[in-house]
């Protein structure tokens, strides 16, 4: 499988586990606020051999692997790679944008992934703007339904700036985030989900749309106001820095 970058191990990316992280190159979204721009185009493939070899050297304490990107479900060798990782007794967490429900359905049917984190790009009315491309609305809804059937999962939304009609850029609002929460409930038929509301963190020379680099982190008060409102819809909503 193609890997563009890797992290040795940490306690953050896979809750409850010490996990190594593999970043796959390429994505079918063009989220303007994306901070992984170097992974999206012309990223060098370092291959998976070195990553797998590394896992063998840390097997005494690393007990999980996170596969993120980019968008991992675009990788044709994703499933063989996961099978190899799991053959080593390691749990697998997959981060996805929800654009590829066919792959998620196979991962679910074959019980290949232990934890799935899916990005919900705000309310569906803004998906073409927050994802940077139109046409994935039906796929994302289908993926929500699938993700809610995995053993452990989370939905998450970054309270990011949005390029709006007329060229204005402003953060997702409290009503918009409440609409995103209602969308999750309406799509899955349940409010019993783990939902993370995340802050936007600007990175100089790292965002896909350079205009967003001038924006600060999501204001704490806005995050708190959103959290209070979204809790009315999804009780297990948490703020994540």
Residue 196 has pLDDT above 90, yes or no: yes
Residue 236 has pLDDT above 80, yes or no: yes
Residue 165 banded pLDDT, cuts 50, 70, 90: confident
CA-based nearest residue to 122, from 71, 191, 179, 70? 179
> What's the burial of 72, exposed, middle or buried (CB within 10 Å: 0-12/13-18/19+)?
buried
**pLDDT tens-digit series, residues 91-116:** 999 999 999 999 999 999 999 999 99
Q: Which residues on neighbouring strands pair with residue 196, listed in sequence order?
A: 156, 238
Structure token pair of residue 94: 């997959």
Q: What's the CA gap between 231 and 239, in Å, rounded?
A: 11
**pLDDT tens-digit series, residues 110-161:** 999 999 999 999 999 999 999 999 999 999 999 999 999 999 999 999 999 9
Contact of 9 with 43, CB cutoff 8 Å: no
Q: What fold is seen in the domain 5-240? A: TIM Barrel (3.20.20)
* pLDDT > 70 fraction of the chain, expressed in percent and rounded: 98
**pLDDT tens-digit series, residues 45-95:** 889 999 999 999 999 999 999 999 989 999 999 999 999 999 999 999 999
- For the chain, the domains span 5-240
Supply the DSSP symbol for 112: -
Angle between helices 174-188 and 220-230 (to 10 degrees): 40
pLDDT score for 41 = 67
Residue 203 has pLDDT above 90, yes or no: no
Which segment of 99-108, 163-172, 183-192 scores lowest on mean pLDDT?
163-172
Question: Which residue's entry shows tokens 């809610």?
Answer: 148
Residues 201-216, mean pLDDT to the nearest whole number: 82
Structure token pair of residue 57: 């050297």
* pLDDT > 90 fraction of the chain, expressed in percent and rounded: 82
């Amino acid at each position: 499988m193609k890997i563009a970058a890797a992290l040795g191990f940490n306690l953050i990316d896979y809750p409850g586990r010490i996990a190594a992280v593999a970043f796959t190159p390429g994505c079918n979204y063009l989220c303007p606020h994306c901070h992984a721009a170097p992974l999206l185009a012309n990223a060098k493939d370092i291959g998976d051999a070195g990553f797998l070899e590394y896992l063998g050297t840390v097997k005494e304490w690393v007990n999980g692997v996170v596969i993120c990107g980019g968008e991992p479900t675009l990788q044709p060798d994703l499933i063989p790679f996961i099978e190899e990782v799991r053959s080593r007794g390691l749990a697998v967490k997959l981060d996805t944008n929800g654009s590829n429900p066919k792959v998620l359905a196979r991962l679910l049917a074959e019980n290949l992934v232990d934890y799935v984190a899916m990005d919900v790009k705000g309310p569906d009315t803004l998906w073409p703007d927050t994802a940077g491309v139109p046409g994935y609305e039906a796929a994302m809804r289908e993926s929500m339904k699938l993700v809610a059937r995995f053993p452990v999962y989370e939905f998450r939304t970054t309270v990011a700036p949005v390029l709006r009609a007329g060229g204005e850029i402003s953060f997702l609002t409290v009503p918009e985030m409440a609409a995103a929460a209602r969308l999750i409930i309406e799509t899955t038929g349940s409010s019993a989900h783990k939902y993370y509301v995340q802050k936007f963190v600007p990175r100089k020379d790292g965002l896909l749309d350079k205009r967003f680099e001038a924006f600060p982190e999501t204001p704490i008060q806005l995050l708190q106001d959103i959290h209070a409102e979204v809790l009315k819809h999804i009780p297990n909503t948490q703020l994540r820095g």
